[in-house]
């Protein structure tokens, strides 16, 4: 698979990146090398190799999910820098206005 300069420019545009001509050339060359290396792996004989999801034997190490009591409202709010006794007060986000 060949990576072209226009491929790199399109992906950069989708990622909202502005690349100079030199950067486009460098990225194109680097990505062609990476894809070329990955393509060379197709030459390996893997007919006797079992597919696996992880190179190490793994097991679930999480504890059982057992419901427990939660914090009370006053306990949850006691460490908050700002609250109104019922809710956390935080700075306005996305241009919203309010008392916080």
pLDDT digits (tens, 9 = 90+) for 7-27: 999 999 999 999 999 999 999
Cα separation, 75 vs 34, in Å, equals 53
Q: Name the CATH architecture for the domain at 5-42.
A: Orthogonal Bundle (1.10)
pLDDT digits (tens, 9 = 90+) for 28-39: 999 999 999 999
| Residues 31/4, Cβ–Cβ less than 8 Å | no
Please determine, for residue 70, whether its predicted confidence score (pLDDT) is greater than 80: yes
Burial (CB < 10 A; 0-12, 13-18, 19+), residue 8, is buried
Q: Apex CA 37: angle with CA 31 and CA 38, to 5°?
A: 90
Please determine, for residue 96, whether its predicted confidence score (pLDDT) is greater than 80: no
- pLDDT at res. 13: 96
The pTM is what?
A: 0.47
């Amino acid at each position: 698979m060949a990576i072209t300069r226009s491929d790199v420019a399109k992906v950069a545009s989708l990622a909202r990146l502005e690349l100079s001509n030199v950067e486009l050339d460098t990225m194109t060359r680097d990505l062609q090398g990476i894809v070329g290396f990955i393509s060379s792996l197709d030459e390996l004989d893997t007919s006797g190799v079992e597919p696996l999801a992880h190179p190490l034997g793994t097991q679930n190490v999480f504890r059982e999910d057992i419901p427990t009591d939660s914090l009370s409202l006053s306990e949850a709010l006691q460490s908050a820098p700002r609250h109104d006794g019922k809710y956390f007060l935080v700075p306005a986000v996305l241009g919203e206005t309010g008392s916080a």
